[in-house]
Amino acid sequence: MERSHRLDTICVQAGWQPKKGEPRVLPIYQSTTFKYDTTDEMGRLFALEDEGYFYTRLQNPTNDAVAAKIAALEGGVAAMLTSSGQAANFYTIANLCQAGDHIVCSAKVYGGTFNLYAATIKKLGIDCTFVDPDDSADVIDGVFQENTKAVVGETIANPALTVLDIGKFSALAHKHGVPLIVDNTFATPVNCRPFEFGADIVTHSTTKYMDGHAMAVGGCIVDSGNFDWEAYADKFPGLTTPDETYHGVVYTKQFGKKAFITKATAQLMRDLGSIQSPMNAFLLNVGLETLPLRMEKHCSNAKKVAEFLNDQEKVEFVNCAMLKGDRYYDLARKYMPDGTCGVLSFGLKGTKEDAVRFMDALKLCAIVTHVADARTCVLHPASHTHRQMNEEQLREAGVTPGMIRLSVGIEHPQDIIDDLAQALDQV
């Protein structure tokens, strides 16, 4: 695939490029294993001396074609598919850190990522300091430690919808000799390519817009190839010193700019095994083909819906960075000039019960725990994701009793607005 191709073309054409007589459509290599003629041929694969497939837990041709497409979309050098976004975010940290290390993370990240970094990796001996992403660079600078190995944030946070100042975060990370990892799930590379603003590694829950049809859970890690691991060799021994479990290979020496993804594949996939199924990768690829069309429609619909909600007497607030006056409007213009995403949140005046009545009155907008689907969906955090919290805890988490998360789909915008209007009439 030529680098000069534009994003829409990459979405349709990159990854699988059939030769004479091969299938036009990316085949699903539904095979756990791959055949060789000689002992030595397969031995060279195990020694990482030749490239090739031998077992799908490590690599599979369908997955690799889709990973190559996502790498091209993000402008990275290599990518790896994982079984979920959670696995992608875990692997990224596990590939850089060991017990005794520390990371810095935006406090506004998705709840699953928050738990993973606040509790689960802590049990493995890796500490995380959460920062308010809107704090000044000086304040955030103060939380770095000698053992800090990475900084993490989300382009548009789920569900807080804060926009990350990627430039501020990458400058801080690089000042301390560590990479910036950006979860780009909500923006997708159609609306933001974090590498262009200094991020080093990007992760995705491909479950969301990339798939776009609520069909397949999946994740992806993309490496820009820009971070100079050898310049900070003492911080990243896993990449810069011999891996005795792979015949003493030094990833940075043997694989150069592909060191990070090769290590994640050779070590983490081998040992932890959260590979994406080839069937899911195939479905993801179908989703990717229409990603630019869908993102444009999600954004234009979300803007119209946000403007409608903003004019309603019964609505207390609307969070949508495409809306003039939104706290993140300027940052969104800088990092996502063509639009942010289809997810917005809004607060109804009144009680939790009023919000429940509104939710139950919706006909077109469906109540599901998902976002970023072609179909419009809603969730009431106080009843669903944050149900266990009391009123005070809800306030601390920034969730009001009347707050509703709305993932605007690609239906006709007026039909979505009509449904919201009739439900508002019943509150």
As measured in angstroms, the least distance from the Cβ of 371 to ligand PLP is 7
As measured in angstroms, the least distance from the Cβ of 261 to ligand PLP is 19
Q: Which residue has the tokens 């009123």?
A: 391
As measured in angstroms, the least distance from the Cβ of 218 to ligand PLP is 6
Question: Residue 37, class by beta-carbon neighbours within 10 Å (0-12 exposed, 13-18 middle, 19+ buried)?
Answer: exposed
Provide the pairing of β-strand 78-82 with 102-106: unpaired
How far is residue 240's CA from residue 246's CA, in Å, rounded to a whole number?
13
For residue 169, state whether it binds ligand PLP (rule: CB under 6 A): no
As measured in angstroms, the least distance from the Cβ of 149 to ligand PLP is 20
Q: Restricting to residues 101-160, which ones interact with ligand PLP according to CB under 6 A?
A: 110, 112-113, 154, 158
Q: How many residues bind ligand PLP (CB under 6 A)?
A: 15
* Complex with ligand PLP: residue 14 or 217, whichever CB lies closer: 217
Q: Restricting to residues 206-245, which ones interact with ligand PLP according to CB under 6 A?
A: 207, 217, 219
* Complex with ligand PLP: residue 134 or 183, whichever CB lies closer: 183
Question: Residue 286, class by beta-carbon neighbours within 10 Å (0-12 exposed, 13-18 middle, 19+ buried)?
Answer: middle
CB 66 within 8 A of CB 211: no
| Member of 60, 63, 185, 191 binding ligand PLP (CB under 6 A) | 185
As measured in angstroms, the least distance from the Cβ of 171 to ligand PLP is 23
* Complex with ligand PLP: residue 161 or 306, whichever CB lies closer: 161
Q: Restricting to residues 70-99, which ones interact with ligand PLP according to CB under 6 A?
A: 84-86, 89
* Complex with ligand PLP: residue 188 or 262, whichever CB lies closer: 188
Buried b (16+ CB within 10 A) or exposed e, 301-339: bbbbbbebbbeeeebeebbbbbbeebebbebbeebbeeb
As measured in angstroms, the least distance from the Cβ of 273 to ligand PLP is 16
As measured in angstroms, the least distance from the Cβ of 319 to ligand PLP is 15
Name 419's Cβ contacts closer than 8 Å, sequence gap at least 6.
362, 363, 364, 365, 376
Side chain identity, residue 191: N
Residue whose Cβ sits closest to ligand PLP: 85
How far is residue 110's CA from residue 162's CA, in Å, rounded to a whole number?
11
- DSSP for 29-77 reads ---SB---SSHHHHHHHHTTSS---SBTTT--HHHHHHHHHHHHHHT-S
Q: Restricting to residues 190-209, which ones interact with ligand PLP according to CB under 6 A?
A: 205, 207
The one-character DSSP state at 123 is: H
* Complex with ligand PLP: residue 65 or 371, whichever CB lies closer: 371
As measured in angstroms, the least distance from the Cβ of 152 to ligand PLP is 11
How far is residue 255's CA from residue 245's CA, in Å, rounded to a whole number?
16
* Complex with ligand PLP: residue 110 or 251, whichever CB lies closer: 110
How far is residue 276's CA from residue 217's CA, in Å, rounded to a whole number?
8
Q: Which residues are near ligand PLP by CB under 6 A? A: 84-86, 89, 110, 112-113, 154, 158, 183, 185, 205, 207, 217, 219
